[in-house]
């Protein structure tokens, strides 16, 4: 898969939030388009969801 121009730049703030204590997201068992962050269901773009779910078991 070829990198989308600017993709890393767009996603850098989300990675920085994780590095500074944002709880890791976990997949929502009811709807795979959603994630759960700190007990709250959230909807993000596919790219952001991928970053937030990095390392999720």
Q: pLDDT tens digit string along 17-47?
A: 888 888 889 999 999 999 999 999 999 999 8
Q: Look at residue 13 and tell me whether its pLDDT is greater than 60.
A: yes
Encode burial over 9-35: b for 16+ CB neighbours within 10 A, e otherwise: eebeebeeeeeeeeeebeeeeeeeebb
> Could you count the other beta carbons within 10 Å of the beta carbon of residue 40?
9
At residue 27, the pLDDT reads 95
Q: Does a structural domain hold residue 1?
A: no
Q: Does a structural domain hold residue 2?
A: no
Q: Does a structural domain hold residue 44?
A: yes
Domains of the chain: total: 1
Domain that holds residue 35: 7-53
Q: Angle at the Cα of 30 (from 46 to 20), degrees rounded to 5? A: 50
To the question of pTM greater than 0.95 for the whole model, the response is no
């Amino acid at each position: 898969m070829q990198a989308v121009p600017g993709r890393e730049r767009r996603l850098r703030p989300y990675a920085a939030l994780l590095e500074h204590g944002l709880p890791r997201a976990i997949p929502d068992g009811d709807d795979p388009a959603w994630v759960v962050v700190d007990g709250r269901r959230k909807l993000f773009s596919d790219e952001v969801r991928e970053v937030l779910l990095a390392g999720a078991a």
